[in-house]
Amino acid sequence: MTAVLTSSIEAAETDADPVTPWIDLGYGVALSPNGGSPGALQVLTDQAVRLIATLHRSIEVKRQKLLATRESLQREWDDGDVPSYLDPDSEAVQGAWQVAEIPPDLRCRRVEITGPVNDAKMVINMLSRNEAGYRADCAMVDFEDSMKPSWANVVAGIQNVAAAARKELCHVRPASRTRPRKEYALDSDDMAKLLVRVRGLHLDESNLRVDGAPVSAGLFDLALCLLHGAAPQLQRGETPAFYVPKVEHHLEARWWNLLFVEAQQAIGLEPGTLRATFLIETLPAAFQMEEILFEVREHAAGLNVGRWDKIFSDIKVLKTHPDRVMADRGSIGMNRRWMRNYATRLIRICHKRGAYAIGGMAAFTPGRTPELRQHQTSKVLADKKAEFQLGHDGCWVSHPFFIGPALTAFPKDQQLDVRHEGQNPRPELLPGSTPPYSLNGLRTNVRVGIAYLEGWRRDIGCVAWDDLMEDLATLEISRAQTWQWLRHGVTLEADGLEGGLRVDEDLVRRVFDEELDRVLHEIDGELEDRPEQREARRASFLAAQQEALDIFTEKEFRPFLSSASNLA
């Protein structure tokens, strides 16, 4: 593969620079002008380029139609309609079908740990035992909610997946003034099962174009991870396994299944070789989970209760409805009727069809004191026990520290015998307007927005903040809720203020200023003896605060923080 310059595809033009030619990779594929790093050229082999071109030309038109349907449906919901169930007499609902038999290496998924795929040290830690000797059953390395989709991160992610699939991933932390050099490596005889979450249907990979159009980011992730990672796994009798996020309609699941079929065929694998777990993390998908599972039954490993993104979707889909204004983020959990119905329905459908039902995320990061860590552990244990008692086959944690407690809560490899057969097959899934709405809730949203955007500016897709792991899902909840409260002029409870506070743009701006002052005060205390580092951090948070404020107060609500990756 030669890097021949082409003028047929133009990069984005700036005032300072002329148009820079893209790099011609052959087969009608072009790479962004600054995207030709050694790592990128290593993963973009001739076979990889041909595979991406073939898949893009086959199914990109279908993807664009599906995205147009999303926009059309959202306009209907904005005008007052709501998502609803489909035909109760369809084959998906009434048929006697089952998913393909679950492979042996995907039959025990009690605890799955997740984190960004681009960080080799974190990937190694997710796949390995923690300091207490506990190891997750599965590790979901993530191209989506916990990874900012910069080109460098994406390329590093592909390389890490390939190395982990070979059981050869390693990382060296250089020595510093305060820490010695340290090497990280996998124990090839004792690893969690590798799972890969690709990016969603809505995301473009801006750095690679086929016939002048950006490729689907999810297609890119799946094709390259399958191409570079499947062979060593299959040689050991293991299953290439994926997670698929953000599905909103069963026809989108059909598109993903088509991608699975054509990608496997193109590299010489039998249909059904790979397996995928679909996250049911949007409100429309909650009404169509059986139809979604039906569409992917040949490749299905299960469904997952993606509860954080689901809260975001609930707000986004119903954002204009005055009777469905969501309460404080912290008050929304499986205690809410519509959330419990959604989880129970997922378990019933999965177990009826022979698929696994995976529970939600415990988003804690270990606190700084033994007392705080004990409090967090108790909450994780209670949450995971509740998920097990409901009938889930497994759950998620975001930090290795909590693997042990989560394993304690799931004493069985699976619970396919839990059927919830007496449950209403069509329970109420729409949220309502229920309190609390509080000034503290607004402060939490604003604080998360500032912290997350500060990390995003540094190419980071998840940040440990206030003893929680905040990723894109929680940022999306925070901005969507603030936007919805602004839209409807919600009155917030505020300590010592009778009658509350009405949410308007002036209040939001004031809270942003107050929370930034708190953050800067914390930085001054932490970095008191390092003035240069302190000033750099202050400047970074100042810029992030302005960016978050602009996004939170946009007049037109954007569907996602971003629908395209960053150009290299």
CA distance linking residue 259 with residue 425, whole number of Å: 30
Residues 300, 275 contacting (CB under 8 angstroms): yes
Catalytic residue among 109, 197, 297, 324: 197
Length of the chain in terms of residues written: 568
Residues 188, 238 contacting (CB under 8 angstroms): no
CA distance linking residue 20 with residue 10, whole number of Å: 7
Residues 437, 491 contacting (CB under 8 angstroms): yes
If DSSP codes are grouped into helix, strand and coil, which group holds residue 492? strand
Catalytic residue among 119, 145, 221, 471: 471
Q: Which two tokens stand for residue 265?
A: 């065929």
- Using alpha carbons, list the distances in angstroms from residue 440 to 226, 316, 319, 480, 495: 45, 21, 21, 16, 9
Location of structure tokens 């993530």: 142
The C-alpha angle 562, 566, 567, rounded to 5 degrees, equals: 145
CA distance linking residue 429 with residue 344, whole number of Å: 11
DSSP per-residue letters across 287-318 = HSHHHHHHHTTTTEEEEEE-HHHHHHHHHHHT
Whether 393 is catalytic: no
Crossing angle of helices 337-352 and 370-390, rounded to 10°: 60
Whether 236 is catalytic: no
CA distance linking residue 301 with residue 280, whole number of Å: 13
Q: Which two tokens stand for residue 253?
A: 């699941």
CA-nearest of 373, 402, 378, 332 to 110 is 402
CA distance linking residue 150 with residue 34, whole number of Å: 12
Catalogue the active-site residues.
Answer: 197, 471
